[in-house]
Amino acid sequence: MRQSELDVGDVGQVARTGAVPPGRDIDELVAAAHARGLRHAEGTVADYIPILAQVDPELFGLCVVDVDGGVHEVGDTGARFSIQSISKAFVYALLCDALGHEEVFDVVGVNNTGAAFNSVVAIELNEGHPGNPMVNAGAIATTALMPSATAEEKWEAVRNGLSRFAGRGLEVDDDVYRSESLTNQRNRAIAQLLESYGRIRSDPAEAVDVYTRQCSLLVDAHDLAVMGATLADGGVNPVTGERVVSADVCRDTLAVLAASGLYERSGEWLFEIGLPGKSGVAGGLVTVAPGKAGIGAYAPRLDSAGNSVRGQIGTAYLSRALGLNIFASEPH
């Protein structure tokens, strides 16, 4: 969404290099950002996965968790939804932590494809290379690379890892999992294409099944904010105090999110909001202000690229009002 569509015309861009403001100020700004988002009813809920079309389109929750563990939330932050593509960012972080920077870079890549998240053409044009871990091809390759002896062990490593990011045990929405399993023919085709190029060396059907299950994990806006704050705090969950991944892994993950986290709109997102972020077609949106906070949003109406409309508006407001834009500075 362009700045003119983000409804932030009266919010001045603040440049702030230190910590976020005091908690009371954050509470007021989160409430204002939520109110700003409620003005908008543009977009439509995802319907290519049948069960997602049944959600209440009016739901909207917005949460900020700072690196000191402070929680600031307004609206439907306890409404649960499937994590979908947001899982890609955190599985990628887990894989980088397990295998290291170079190996994951070589197999999965980091460059924006400029194509839709489920593009097959982008794979062929890059001689079988997935491109980056935020499109489906790269995400399936990432999941397939998770070290394990069996598909079930791979799944448990993914579920446990994402649970540690969230600070609580995450469970699968079985209805979403079944619905997606019946409609994921394109992902199965992508996996087989990747296997033909040697990018997947395990059973491609098993890789897609684990990937489908990870996308079906239930989270809420509060969970996303905690997960984002963990990346913001060098891999330490600021609520539980547990180290989930290394600081180097967080740096690599945030770089990939900045380049490709909102699919073909990633450039516009970075230009307008100035923060690494990741969206999911259920309506979730996680944004990370390194060293400061994570922002979690949930609003199921999506723009044409599959990104939450209200989530983008609320996050854009907070980026400006809290001084989070990583490119903003003041004259020395």
Q: Coil, helix or strand for 318?
A: helix
User: Would you say residue 130 lies in a domain?
Assistant: yes
Q: Which of 211, 245, 256, 288 is catalytic?
A: 211
8 Å CB contact between 20 and 292: yes
Residue 136 assigned to a binding site:
yes
Same domain for 222 and 207? Answer: no
288 annotated active-site: no
Asked whether residue 300 carries a pLDDT value surpassing 60, the answer given is yes
Q: Does 15 have pLDDT greater than 60?
A: no
Residues 100 and 60 in one domain: no
184 and 295: one domain? no
Annotated catalytic, 281? yes
237 in a labelled binding site: no
Answer yes or no: is pLDDT of 231 > 90: yes
pLDDT of residue 200: 85
**45-67: b or e for each residue (b if 16 or more CB lie within 10 Å)?**
bbeebebbeebebebbbbbbbbb
pLDDT higher at 28 or 138: 28
DSSP secondary-structure letter at 81?
A: E
Phi then psi dihedrals of residue 71, to 5 deg: -115, 130
> Which of 263, 292, 298, 319 does the annotation list as catalytic?
263
In percent, how much of the chain has pLDDT > 90?
67
**Is 82 marked within a binding site?**
no
CA–CA dist 289, 238 (Å, integer): 14
Instruction: Kindly state the helix (H) or strand (E) to which residue 285 belongs, with its residue range.
Output: strand 284-289
110 φ/ψ angles, rounded to the nearest 5 degrees: -140, 0
Of 8, 11, 88, 309, the active-site residue reads 88
Whether the predicted pLDDT of 253 surpasses 80? yes
- 55-64, 149-158, 173-182, 194-203: least confidently modelled range: 194-203
Domain count across the chain:
2
Q: Where are the alpha helices (DSSP H) in the chain?
A: 23-38, 86-99, 101-108, 121-125, 136-145, 151-166, 174-181, 185-196, 204-215, 221-232, 247-260, 266-272, 309-321
Q: Please name the residues in contact with 285: beta carbons below 8 A apart, sequence gap of 6 or more.
A: 86, 224, 277, 278, 279, 295, 296, 297, 298, 307, 308, 311, 312, 315
**In angstroms, rounded to a whole number, what is the distance separating the alpha carbons of residues 281 and 46?**
6
Give how far Cα 258 sits from Cα of 215, 255, 266, Å.
Answer: 21, 5, 7
pLDDT above 80 (res 262): yes
In a domain, 309, yes or no: yes
Examine the domain organization and report whether 133 and 226 are in the same domain: no
Task: Identify whether residues 143 and 189 lie together within a single domain.
Answer: yes
85 is in an annotated binding site: yes
Averaged pLDDT, 64-71: 96
pLDDT tier at 172 (50, 70, 90 boundaries)? very high
Non-local (6+) Cβ contacts of 180 within 8 A are 49, 212, 215, 216
Stretch 7-36: mean pLDDT = 77
Known active-site residue 85:
yes
298 catalytically annotated: no
Residue 246 in tokens = 């290394």
Q: Is the pLDDT of residue 286 over 90?
A: yes
Q: Residue 308, annotated ligand binder?
A: no
What interhelical angle do 204-215 and 151-166 show, nearest 10? 20
Confidence bin at 16 (pLDDT 50/70/90): low
Give residue 263's pLDDT. 82
Stated length of the chain:
332
Q: Assess if residue 330 is contained within a domain.
A: no
> Does residue 328 lie in a domain region?
no
We report the CATH number of the domain holding residue 204 as: 3.40.710.10
Residue 19 banded pLDDT, cuts 50, 70, 90: low
- The pLDDT of residue 56 is 96
State the DSSP H helix or E strand holding residue 287, giving kind and residue range, or none if neither.
strand 284-289
Tell me the residue range of the domain where 106 lies: 87-214
Q: Could you report the per-residue pLDDT of 107-138, keeping only the tens digit for each? A: 776 766 655 565 665 566 556 566 678 888 88
What are the two backbone dihedrals, phi and then psi, of residue 82, each rounded to the nearest 5 degrees? -80, 140
Would the annotation count 71 as a binding residue? no
What are the residues facing 293 on neighbouring strands? 66, 289
Co-location of 198 and 100 in the same domain? yes
180 is in an annotated binding site: yes
Out of 11, 45, 65, 85, the active site residue is: 85
Average pLDDT, the chain: 89
**Domain limit, last residue, from 214, 234, 267:** 214
Selecting among 104, 210, 281, 288, the annotated active-site residue is: 281
pTM for this model (two decimals): 0.91
Pick the closest to residue 64 from 54, 76, 73, 56 (CA basis).
Answer: 73
- The listed range with the strongest mean pLDDT (44-58, 61-75, 257-271) is 61-75
In a domain, 44, yes or no: yes
Task: Assess whether 194 and 208 both reside in one domain.
Answer: yes
pLDDT at 66 > cutoff 60: yes
